[in-house]
Chain A
Amino acid sequence: MRQKPRYVEASRCTACGACAEKCPTKVPNEFNFGLDEHKAIYKDYAQGIPSVYTIDPTHCRIFQGKKCGVCAKTCQAKAIDYEQKEKFVDLNVAAVIISTGYELFDATRISEYGYGRLPNVISALEMERLLSAGGPTKGHLTRPSTIRAEARVRELAKRIKKAETDQDMENLGRFQAELKWLEAQIHKHHTATKLGFIQCVGSRDFRFHKYCSSFCCMHSIKEAIIAKEHEPQTESYIFYMDLRTVGKGFEEYKVRGEKVSGLKYVRGRVAEILEDDEHNPIVYYEDTEERRVKSMTLDMVILATACSAPKGVNPLAEMLGVELDENNFIKTHPNRPLDTSVPGIFSCGCAQGPLDIPESVAQASSAAARAAEVVMTGGLALAM
């Protein structure tokens, strides 16, 4: 097993966060999809386990050959170790559980949706971060274009100051005009209140994944309900082909979304997304119940991107000798849903296909029990 260095001694770090507070280097926060920044010494997210800080060597000044060492000076626990090396650990195990999870479908592959090009077209996971109290906007539904505009306003303030000192009247006028426009935009689009949720982005699509990702209908409804709780003026439209709300209490939740939170379910998969000159996405679709092609201008579009098998699964499967299914998920036996093609190797959660949280949790317990059976019987359980 390879253990990459954290450059922080896990047994000493108390996760007090003093190092990150003092660290001078800002890095786009991957966990929040680059919507905010963290420091070059960071914790992936607040609830991460083990609760230990990590240095990002691609950004840390020390690893770029520059003078720094602020974190080491700040750390009272003396946990910082710039010399830490990669470790290889040999483990003797009786059973293995593959629970490598899934990867979000890369929505840039559907060019007509403009993901990655249109700032206010985001994935459901980005929406999750925006709605989160611990997220980049502390739960306020700020559009990514507004977040960018705010950053540009800060930059313009500096440039205007410099232009004033330099008496650079030409640029000064230009910057001031841009600033005025941006400030008006930020004011106008302070909160995203008209939302469109697009279902089946990469799922149930022969071009990408034929299968249904199964959990997206529910998370779109959930996000739309939460958005309404955060801002009562919010209007949400869910563009769907079939709403597959299959599970205990799921259908009731869907009905509640419509009756209590006022969500509007529109039957029709969106054909394409364009935008107007204020970065408002415009969706084009056929309302299949009315048999009419329509367009709708929204503040923000949230794509229910498919659950894809993680890219690294092939070398892992090869190493362990387990078979994958046609969609690159871990192949399991229909009658023994946690068993892979190799005895003693089990799998749970999205590693074996799209699963929602309750099912993943149930599978995790079951996989642990299956592994325990093998360990505790000295392998005899495998013969049964």
Chain B
Amino acid sequence: MTISEIVNRTQAYYCLDCGICTGSCPVSRVTQDFSPRLMVEKVLIEEAENPYDDVNIWSCLSCGQCSARCPSKIDYPEFVRQVRKAAVTEGHSGVPAHRGLFQGVMRLQTLDVKQNKTDWAREAGKIAESGDTYYFVGCAPYFDVEFREDWAIDVMEGPRGVLKALNAIGIEPVVHDDERCCGHDLMWNGDYENFAKLARLNVDLIKSLGCKRVVFQCPEGYQTFKKYYPEVIGEVDFEVVHFYELLAKEFERGRFGFEPLDGVYTFHDPCRLGRQAGIMDAPRALLQGVPGLKLIEMEHNRENGICCGTSAWMSCSSCSKEIQKSRLREAIASGAGHLVTACSKCRLHLNCALRDVEMDLKIVDLNDLLARSLKV
């Protein structure tokens, strides 16, 4: 896509130069080097010689706060996604975090590799070889390898929680060794070629198993399947369901209850789940269903929720750390003792910042919390 096609696709020509995007951007608030408005404006007035050379295109978190508030409905994340895609074809590659480890793991999965992705599931609960429901676990098993030892965080608590909860409401989902990374991060890194390969492998696998619906706990996987797979695959012929919506529906029907849990909790909306997929009520309804649990809101919540500071394992910097710390300060200011996350990456990123500060705050995984107190 040429830059003028990108401008047309994202309606960037509607820009009123009002500054709401930049005033809303969590990155711009920390560093004045980055501005969604100027990023678009430079292209519009052809000030930038080559927009693909601009290092700032890799600083965007694609959290979508700018677009959600933009009076002209300009799709900034889409602008960034397309510019990155074009930049990669011109040989740029951005600034990967964690030494590019995860990008490496993702690209490996485009090959004919043999993976073991089900042992944990057999230990944690019951899974099936075939059936209607596929549980798309996502990348948590890979994160676990990197972070369990170093940070003492068990990322697998999330998937185990989902599986236990699904089992408890009578669902034995299919979990498969051949599942690949959904490709979310590679796509947002501009590596569209490998994203397309991963998408094809995943869809072919699920089709071959004959599953009718795919359940996600990972907000990124959910949003990627729902919004971006049709771009490379066409419409998929299975249903894409988020775990919280499925669980909240069953909870409403009275299929299960929760054991009491004391404490003051606050919920951190992941960008993909909240602002982008619009799933904000279901996680709250589930948390409020736990007797004794007091749910309070941070200053920025729901559609105004703040990003966890880094996205797609790209451009982790002191700016990311500042965003994360200010989020933790918000949680403390709200009076919560526990910050609940619904995305493995949010949990990891916020924990990363928590290691640097002295705060009386525990970060817990929503899936784990729900599975622990769920009773049928």
Residues of A within 8 A of B (CB): 111-112, 200, 204-207, 241, 267-272, 274, 284-288, 291-293
> Contact between A111 and B29 (Cβ–Cβ < 8 Å)?
no
**Given A111-B302, A111-B303, A112-B304: A206 and B19 within 8 A (CB)?**
no
Residues of B within 8 A of A271 (CB): 19-24, 69
Q: In whole angstroms, how far apart are the Cα atoms of A271 and B302 in the complex? A: 16
Query: What is the total of A-B residue contacts with beta carbons within 8 Å?
Result: 71
How far is the CB of B173 from the nearest CB of chain A, in Å?
36
Q: In whole angstroms, how far apart are the Cα atoms of A267 and B18 in the complex? A: 8
**Given A204-B71, A205-B71, A206-B73: A286 and B304 within 8 A (CB)?**
no
19 sample A-B contacts, Cβ–Cβ < 8 Å, listed by A number: A206-B14, A206-B72, A241-B18, A267-B19, A268-B23, A269-B20, A271-B20, A272-B69, A272-B304, A284-B23, A285-B19, A285-B23, A286-B19, A286-B20, A286-B23, A288-B37, A291-B32, A293-B22, A293-B29
> Contact between B303 and A268 (Cβ–Cβ < 8 Å)?
no
How far is the CB of A112 from the nearest CB of chain B, in Å?
5
Q: In whole angstroms, how far apart are the Cα atoms of A225 and B27 in the complex? A: 36
| B111 interface contact, C-beta 8 A | no
> Contact between A268 and B304 (Cβ–Cβ < 8 Å)?
no
How far is the CB of B22 from the nearest CB of chain A, in Å?
4
Chain B at the A interface: SS class: helix
How far is the CB of A382 from the nearest CB of chain B, in Å?
42
How far is the CB of B17 from the nearest CB of chain A, in Å?
6
| B169 interface contact, C-beta 8 A | no
| B299 interface contact, C-beta 8 A | yes
Residues of B within 8 A of A285 (CB): 19, 23
Task: Pick the residue among A111, A200, A267, A291 that contacts B35 (CB under 8 A).
Answer: A291
Residues of B within 8 A of A287 (CB): 19
The residue in chain B whose Cβ has the minimal distance to the Cβ of A292 is B32
How far is the CB of A194 from the nearest CB of chain B, in Å?
19
| B28 interface contact, C-beta 8 A | yes
Q: In whole angstroms, how far apart are the Cα atoms of A257 and B238 in the complex? A: 62
Q: In whole angstroms, how far apart are the Cα atoms of A293 and B23 in the complex? A: 6
Residues of B within 8 A of A207 (CB): 71, 73
Task: Pick the residue among B14, B21, B29, B35 that contacts A284 (CB under 8 A).
Answer: B29
Task: Pick the residue among A111, A200, A272 that contacts B23 (CB under 8 A).
Answer: A272
In residues 6-40 of chain B, which contact A (Cβ within 8 Å)? 14, 16-25, 28-29, 32, 35, 37-38
> Contact between B22 and A269 (Cβ–Cβ < 8 Å)?
no
Residues of B within 8 A of A205 (CB): 71
Per-position binary interface string of chain B over residues 110-133, scored 1 when its CB falls under 8 Å from any chain A CB and 0 otherwise: 000000000000000000000000
The residue in chain A whose Cβ has the minimal distance to the Cβ of B37 is A286
Task: Pick the residue among A241, A267, A274, A286 that contacts B299 (CB under 8 A).
Answer: A274
Interface centre among A241, A271, A287 (most CB of B within 10 A): A271
Per-position binary interface string of chain B over residues 324-366, scored 1 when its CB falls under 8 Å from any chain A CB and 0 otherwise: 0000000000000000000000000000000000000000000
The residue in chain A whose Cβ has the minimal distance to the Cβ of B38 is A291
Interface centre among B17, B22, B23, B35 (most CB of A within 10 A): B23
Task: Pick the residue among A204, A272, A274, A288 that contacts B19 (CB under 8 A).
Answer: A288
Q: In whole angstroms, how far apart are the Cα atoms of A131 and B17 in the complex? A: 33
> Contact between A269 and B19 (Cβ–Cβ < 8 Å)?
yes
> Contact between B16 and A112 (Cβ–Cβ < 8 Å)?
no
Task: Pick the residue among A111, A200, A284, A286 that contacts B71 (CB under 8 A).
Answer: A200
Residues of B within 8 A of A206 (CB): 14, 71-73
**Given A205-B71, A241-B18, A269-B20: A286 and B302 within 8 A (CB)?**
no
Q: In whole angstroms, how far apart are the Cα atoms of A292 and B19 in the complex? A: 9
Q: In whole angstroms, how far apart are the Cα atoms of A287 and B20 in the complex? A: 10
